[in-house]
Chain A
Amino acid sequence: MFDLPKRPILSVLLTLALVALRAIGCASPEWQGWSGVASYEGILFVGSMDGKLLAINPSARSNDLPFPSAGEWVFRFPAFGLARPVCGPACAPTSPMANIYATPLIQDDLVYVATYSGENGRVLAINRIAPGYAEGAPMRSKGEWVYPGGLDSIGAVVGSPALYDNMLFVGSSDGKVYALDATYGEKQWVFDTGAKIWTSPTVGNSVLYVSNYGRKLYAVSARDGRLLWQKEFPASIASSPTVSDGKLFFGTFDHYFYAVNASDGEVEWKFRGGGWFWGTPLVKDGIVYAGCLDGKLYALKVDTNMKEGEKVWEFTADAPIVAGPVLANSGIVVASKSGKISVLKLDDGSLLKATSVGAQVIAPLCPVGNMVYVHARDRCVYCVDAERGEVVWKFSTVIK
């Protein structure tokens, strides 16, 4: 037992190490993305974690009818480019499969979706009644388009697009904001921020606000892409900004939550949390609600003279809060990463109802009346009744 030569032992050890490395690298699932659910005229649209867009009819799901039922369909995004032959287990995805982080956006007959394929991205407009894409190309007669066309691509898109005045704004990993004509997909203007954009742009009063990972926040004219002002912060901006009451609200990587003047970017107040403020904040009746990765939902006064912000109440969840809070009829709904959905009273943050979907939740929530639709990490869409605090139905997005 002792006469093993050293080299084979070394080989065995190194092989074990490599197996361990492979195990670490392959531990994460192949599927990725955290598209939220969008609701339009009674139909839900969601990007699945395996590169598909689904139209789901909630009434068919609550009656447990076979998929697809009336108004339902599934659309697989056309892959583009060739699979790269070399790429490690933990680096950017090797396959040209389109993943979806952006929540779909709907206007008239089109569903807008932006994709993430390694370093590349595209923006697609798909007919919301029935996708007409044939052989990977959009069907013009159905009003569909893709940007950019042919074999071109922009940087991968993580943040959700924004719509304003028939213009679609998309922030991309190549650091640029693309303004596209929402009807025909033609480029109107491009604004280069110089650093990766993974947050969603937002529009208020004809001004587009966008942050990048170069620690900067930009205000650009939505009409022509002209820079109005820019502001640099000590750390990069983690959450997509929300604009309300003449202020912008967002969190940064150094655990601060900011309220800045929307007209010039001057900081009005900042509040220190115990982690990143990742989800998009919600503003309602002079209070801004911000979920934090420290597991707390903070309710802060919008207008305050205190430079450190003024906390009204806080709610402690059982796990980090990744998805931004939303408003349902019965109260404010917050999901923790563990999958627990809590419904809170607006005025004091007391717990009204709670339930769990039993899977991690990091995608944005979609409230419709008293129902909240949740796209969880188990690749299922859940319908949660916020008033009764229970899961009404669950639908798997894994469609063969």
Chain B
Amino acid sequence: MAELWNMLILEPILNSLISLCSMLGGNFGLAIIVFTVVVRIALLPLTIRQTRSTKAMQELQPRLQELQKRYAKDQQKLQQEMVKLYREAGINPLGCLWPLLIQLPIWIALYQSIMQALAATPENLLNLAQHLYSWDLVARAVPLNERFLWLQLSKPDPNLILALLVGATMWVQQKMVTPPAADPRQQSMNNMTLMMMPLMFALFTLSFPSGLALYWVVSNVVGIVIQYFVGGGWGYLRKPPGAGKPAPGRDVSDAKAPSVASGKEASKSKTIAKTAEVKKGVFSENERARSQR
């Protein structure tokens, strides 16, 4: 299993990274940046799919909450109604996870590659020797120069700069896609997650090799750029708190999610439009039922 992993994932990434470093004049920091951008671009279709899937899921949240309220005492019925709702909206609720799961091995392999390529210890160097292709470009680049700007890439950044950059970029990226929740409990949970993850990664940056932290920063920045263009602007980063909160007692069908509120954004996302149509159909049935009562 380990050999298969090395042969199919680790070694291609490792050797590409080192070749890139060689082509960039032996600057490994620059190689990490370029490689991260290339990997993120290669994964762009997955990222776009994930972004849209996530957005579509967010659109359904008010209706899901309504269903939860309505069938609070009948879990089986609730499940049936939810599955029906997802089917009608054409959404796979786990759809946003697949792109993440596919990216995970690449992320781990990149981490391993950075660590192996830098060969911080003699054992690492010996291991590296056994994963390198016999390309002259690769062989002549090793051992790599681990200096980049103020960083020593195989060691943690002694300053707080990289940790702050990791935390800040991750927060911005997450904030762009986190909608304000109607439920105060949910909102406080969202706020906590929004703070917790960047904080956690910032803390990890203090203890992980700065080469990996550099990858995180670049990856986050690319993620922000993708989110900006695919999601339509700064998303929830610029929305005032409570902008997406439906008024109490107001029919959820009237509560437009912030991204739908903008005509420009709505036109960019077919999924959102589709979701909005489904919403309209289901809620007009609700209204009919109410007037009959």
Task: List the interface of chain A (C-beta within 8 A of B).
Answer: 1-11, 13-14, 16-18, 20-21, 24-25, 28, 32, 34, 86-93, 101, 116, 158, 196, 198, 213, 234-236, 238, 252-255, 274-276, 278, 293, 320, 322, 362
Contacts and interface: CB of A to CB of B under 8 A. Distances in A.
Interface of B is mostly: helix
A235 B108 contact: no
Contacts, number: 125
A18 B216 CA distance: 13
Given A11-B197, A20-B108, A90-B115, A362 B126 contact: yes
A5 B186 contact: yes
Contact of A7 (B86, B142, B189, B207): B189
Q: Chain A CB within 10 Å — which of B96, B111, B139 has the most?
A: B139
5 contacts: A2-B83, A87-B207, A213-B143, A253-B140, A254-B136
B130 to A, nearest CB: 6
A49 to B, nearest CB: 10
Nearest to B101: A13
Contacts of B93: 2, 4
Contact of B178 (A7, A11, A32): A7
A293 B139 CA distance: 14
A174 to B, nearest CB: 14
Interface in B137-167: 139-140, 142-143, 154-156
Nearest to B94: A2
A3 B123 contact: no
B204 A13 contact: no
A158 B122 CA distance: 8
Contacts of A6: 54, 57-58, 96
B193 A90 contact: no
Contacts of A89: 207-208
B23 to A, nearest CB: 16
Nearest to B208: A88
Interface residues of B, number: 54
B197 A17 contact: no
Nearest to A196: B143
Nearest to A214: B143
Q: Classify the interface of chain A: helix, strand, loop or mixed.
A: loop
A255 B208 CA distance: 32
A254 B209 contact: no
A176 B156 CA distance: 25
B92 to A, nearest CB: 9
A253 B138 CA distance: 9
B123 A28 contact: yes
Q: Which of A9, A17, A88, A252 has the most CB of B within 10 A?
A: A88
B16 interface: no
Contacts of A362: 126
A127 to B, nearest CB: 28
A91 B126 contact: no
A24 B111 contact: yes
B27 interface: no
A253 B130 CA distance: 11
Given A253-B142, A255-B139, A278-B129, A92 B108 contact: no
